[in-house]
Each structure stands twice: as C-alpha cells, then as structure tokens.
C-alpha cells in the first residue's frame, strides 16, 4: 500500500527518507499522483522472481489495486539505495517495453587458451506482457573461441518475449587474444645491452690486431727481413 504525498519539495522528501519512506510518483491512466511507499515494502516487492520488472499491486490509501511496474528510479550516489521511484500503471493484457539484464554463463573454449572474455552488452530491450517480462536473460558463451563474437541473433528467449534490439548488429560478448607485452624501442643516444659504441669498437679492434701481430713476431712492414 502507498500513501498520497500532500507536501512536496526536497525538504519533505529528506524527512520522509529519514523515516524509512521513499517519495515517488504513480502514473495512472487518469493523472499522476505523488505518493510515498515504505522502503521495506518496495524492497520486498522488487526482490521477487520478477526482479525490477515485477508487477506491483499499488493501492493508494484504501482505493482499488492498480497493476503497475517500476518505470524509473533514482539511487543515492554513494550508498546506492533507492531514493525516488516512478511507478507506471499497466494493463495485464497489453505488451509493454522493458529493459532486462543479460547474464553470461559458461567458460569459453578460447578463455582456456588464454583468451579474454568481454561482455559487450549488459542489458537488452524487450517487449512482452507485464507478467511475462523475464527477470533476466542468459546466454551460453562456452563455445566461443579466440576471435569469436556472439551476436543477439544467437540468443534464445522465452515464448512471448520479443527482442527489440538489432539481431545482427548487437554484439553480446567477444573473446580476444591476450595482449602481448612489446619490448620498448631504445631511445636514440642510449646504449643497448650487449652493444659497444662505434668509437670504442674501433679502438678495441685496433688493440686486438696489435696483440695478434706481437704474438706472431710480425713487424709493421711485412715482406722485409732484418739483417
């Protein structure tokens, strides 16, 4: 059950939150109504099998129940809990558009060989009757090899659920080759390990030749013999 919110404004909203109430707006078939709902009641309703797409029976202070869904919500930027909700009344016999989380399961074959699995799409847009909107959708990625991409066309959805995103253009997940660390190129002027500067190399070669000459008894003028 929700209550009418007669007093509006940010100060009143902060007061309500301190009391464990969440301010919001219920968009009915006739006109929007400012409401408050107990934080515990909302949390319990959104943790059922329907998740954030659960159909809620909204009763405004003794009136009749209105089948409604969570249209939008705002979260605290630091603590993460819900601080404002918009509820939308729906007809159970008419399809609605909803956003559904995508879950990956399985270990890709490519990942076993060192590949990196990346989830490209986290949410999907669907159309279904309010009571048939799934809490989430799942896709098996165990067959992906390195270099493979999984597209939306490969996803199987429950009967009565229609995918609204482009089947061929929407990439769900990829497996890429691991990044290789490349050796940095030496900066001009720096010595590379194992290499000798050009000037020093010439001096070392000359010294080595002199030592070889001394060892063989050869003079600086080959072809002459001292008498």
d(CA 74, CA 67): 21
pLDDT digits (tens, 9 = 90+) for 6-61: 567 777 777 778 888 889 899 987 788 888 888 888 888 888 778 889 999 888 76
Domain boundaries of the chain, sorted by first residue: 3-90, 97-176
CATH 2.170.120.20 fits 97-176, yes or no: yes
Using the structure block, give the residue that is written with the tokens 């490519």: 110
Q: Which of 114-118, 157-161, 194-198, 212-216 has the lowest mean pLDDT?
A: 212-216
Give 58-94 pLDDT, tens digit per residue. 887 667 888 999 999 888 888 888 889 999 999 999 9
CA distance 38 to 52: 16
Measured between alpha carbons, how far is residue 72 from residues 39, 47, 91, 110 in Å?
Answer: 16, 16, 18, 38
> What is the band of 132 on the pLDDT scale with cuts at 50, 70, 90?
very high
The reported pLDDT for the residue numbered 226 is 43
3-90 adopts what CATH topology?
A: Ribosomal Protein L25; Chain P (2.40.240)
């Amino acid at each position: 059950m929700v209550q009418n919110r007669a007093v509006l404004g940010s100060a009143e909203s902060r007061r309500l939150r301190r009391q464990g109430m969440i301010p919001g707006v219920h968009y009915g078939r006739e006109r929007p109504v400012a409401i408050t709902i107990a934080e515990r009641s909302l949390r319990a309703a959104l943790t059922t099998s329907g998740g954030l797409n659960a159909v809620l029976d909204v009763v405004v202070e003794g009136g009749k129940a209105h089948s409604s869904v969570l249209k939008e919500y705002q979260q605290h930027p630091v603590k993460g809990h819900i601080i404002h909700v918009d509820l939308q009344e729906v007809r159970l016999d008419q399809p609605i558009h909803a956003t559904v989380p995508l879950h990956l399961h399985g270990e890709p074959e490519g990942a076993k060989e060192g590949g990196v699995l990346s989830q490209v799409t986290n949410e999907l847009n669907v159309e279904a009757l309010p009571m048939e909107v799934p809490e989430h959708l799942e896709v098996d990625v165990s067959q992906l090899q390195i270099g493979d991409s999984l597209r939306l066309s490969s996803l199987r959805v429950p009967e009565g659920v229609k995918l609204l995103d482009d089947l061929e253009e929407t990439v769900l997940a990829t497996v890429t080759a691991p990044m290789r660390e490349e050796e940095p190129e030496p900066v001009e002027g720096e010595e590379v390990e194992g290499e000798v500067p050009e000037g020093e190399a010439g001096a070392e070669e000359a010294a080595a030749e002199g030592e070889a000459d001394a060892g063989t008894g050869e003079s600086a003028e080959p072809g002459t013999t001292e008498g």
